[in-house]
Chains A and B, each alone.
Chain A
């Protein structure tokens, strides 16, 4: 089983829609969780950290369920500029490095 698993999509949604991505991780001892965004042929960039109590950053909401080892990202009022691949990230067994999911592709259409 891969350490971080995501639905690859693609998710095709119209502008203004709400879309949710899910991710599961295998290491129950993981302590750090993130969502990164990667535009086509670009490097990944941090979108937001994920905290135990859940957190929001504008139109983006992240949730963590430790019991189910599940992370989610909700995007409200989707914009064309949200089109990208969203990578779920969890710290590795060693704690030093970060393990990335393969990503979920989002396409927001006019």
Chain B
């Protein structure tokens, strides 16, 4: 079975550029999460969707970050404009049901902003 699929796996961009990260959750999973991981701060929850609806975006660092889930099989995380401090690994994860069960992570998108 396919797991959570993220793209791109690696992205190097220059400060000020727009970055779009993509995620396909596991089919049938109703909950989707975006996390960011850095050495300094560990794994931080950015936003959580349930049934394609954003439930909690309190972790989104600022207005430069936005996330969408237009349908059950696709989500995007956009950073515009990007800054060097946005450099991190961005993980998408999905779970079968709200509040219950294992969180399955994608392999992550490693972002470097120069």
Contact = CB atoms under 8 A, between A and B. Distances in A.
Nearest to A87: B43
A68 interface: no
- Taking residues whose C-beta sits less than 8 angstroms from the other chain, chain A's interface range is 10 to 19
Contacts of A87: 43
Nearest to B100: A32
A99 interface: yes
A95 interface: yes
B98 interface: yes
Contacts of B43: 44, 87, 100, 102
B93 to A, nearest CB: 8
A94 B56 contact: yes
A101 to B, nearest CB: 7
A102 B50 contact: no
Contact of B42 (A43, A45, A46, A101): A101
A96 B98 CA distance: 7
B107 A99 contact: no
Instruction: Give the one of A42, A87, A98, A103 with max B CB within 10 A.
Output: A98
A91 B33 CA distance: 13
B107 A97 contact: no
A102 B42 contact: yes
Contacts of A42: 107
Interface of A: 42-46, 87, 91-92, 94-103
14 contacts: A43-B105, A43-B108, A44-B43, A45-B105, A95-B99, A96-B98, A97-B45, A97-B48, A97-B56, A98-B33, A98-B45, A99-B45, A101-B42, A103-B42
Given A91-B99, A97-B33, 4 more contacts: A42-B107, A45-B105, A99-B45, A100-B43
When A and B form their complex, which 5 residue pairs have the shortest distance between CB atoms, in order from nearest?
A102-B42, A43-B105, A100-B43, A46-B102, A97-B48
